[in-house]
Amino acid sequence: MATGINRLSETAVVGSSSSPFDYYLVLSETDSETDSETGPARVDGIVVEEYVYGDDHAAVGLDSVGWSAADGEWWNSAAFSREMRRDPLLRSRIVAARRSEAESVYRGLAGEDLPGETALRSRFHDREPFPSSAPLLFGPPEVPEGYHDRRVYRILFAGQLDSGHLAHLRDVWSMDLAADPHARVAGTARLHAGADLFTWDLRRIGAGVAGGLDATGLDVTALLAGPYATAIGPLLRELTTEMRFQGLIPVTIERFA
């Protein structure tokens, strides 16, 4: 199956050309995520987000802006973005969208074109900063023979995956699922990108661990053999995007080693 993950191995040096923006539709409180007998769910607004990354690809902040269909106004949405992740009821009304889908919804509700991404970025005035620190290294990293560096990242998401989502990820990532359906590590996948090797574990974190979130994590290990770490950023982005479209909302990307 051809996917963004498969394509990454062919474009590891040149990187990814995908949009850095995440688009979300905010559904009405009275509607569900899917079409009902009365027609498509009603959209109350749109949220646009962009993560800010450090040199090592860990997230250092989140920019966001929201738009309300009721009054047609754009507004700073840092507080709303936090609640999207913390409040399960609000999260159930949030649907990940592609740029083209957001454009269609905005045109139908506002009667004009959605601003371009440069214009949207100019509306970011309320950055949510993330605490940042160097990875805790208690000694030299254990780097297997044939590689010169080993890095470990965690992409943290609000929400949990159901069996249907797991089956989809198994197919898209050729992921080996755990035999025990209740195991903390639900599955493992791997990818060769040039001379580099990436593996990622899909981890059930649960509630009360990550700041009280009902959370899921992707623990990504990068073994680098080439002189450039150009595949790390595109891979983390592709993994994040795939999980967004399985109903989870990314919280942060941390580097552990």
188 vs 201: CA distance, rounded Å = 5
Question: Can you read off the two tokens belonging to residue 42?
Answer: 């009603």
Q: Measure CA of the first residue to CA of the last residue in the chain; give whole Å.
A: 32
pLDDT at position 208: 57
pLDDT at position 20: 94
175 vs 37: CA distance, rounded Å = 36
214 vs 169: CA distance, rounded Å = 19
242 vs 257: CA distance, rounded Å = 24
DSSP class of residue 27 equals E
176 to each of 121, 163, 198, 243, how far by Cα in Å? 39, 14, 14, 17
Contact in structure between 247 and 149 (CB atoms under 8 Å): no
pLDDT at position 138: 57
Partners of 191 in the β-ladder: 198
Residue bearing tokens 């990293």 = 141
In three-state secondary structure terms, 176 is: strand
Counts of helices then strands in the chain (DSSP H, E): 7, 12
The one-letter amino acid code at 56 reads: D
pLDDT at position 211: 61
pLDDT at position 2: 40
Residue bearing tokens 């802006």 = 65
CA dihedral sign, ordered 158, 255, 78, 49: negative
pLDDT at position 6: 56
Tell me the average confidence (pLDDT) per consecutive run of 10 residues in the chain, 257 residues long: 50 56 96 54 97 95 98 96 96 97 98 98 96 69 92 96 95 94 93 95 78 86 91 96 98 93
The residues spanned by each domain of the chain are 4-129, 149-255
Q: Which fold has domain 149-255?
A: Double Stranded RNA Binding Domain (3.30.160)
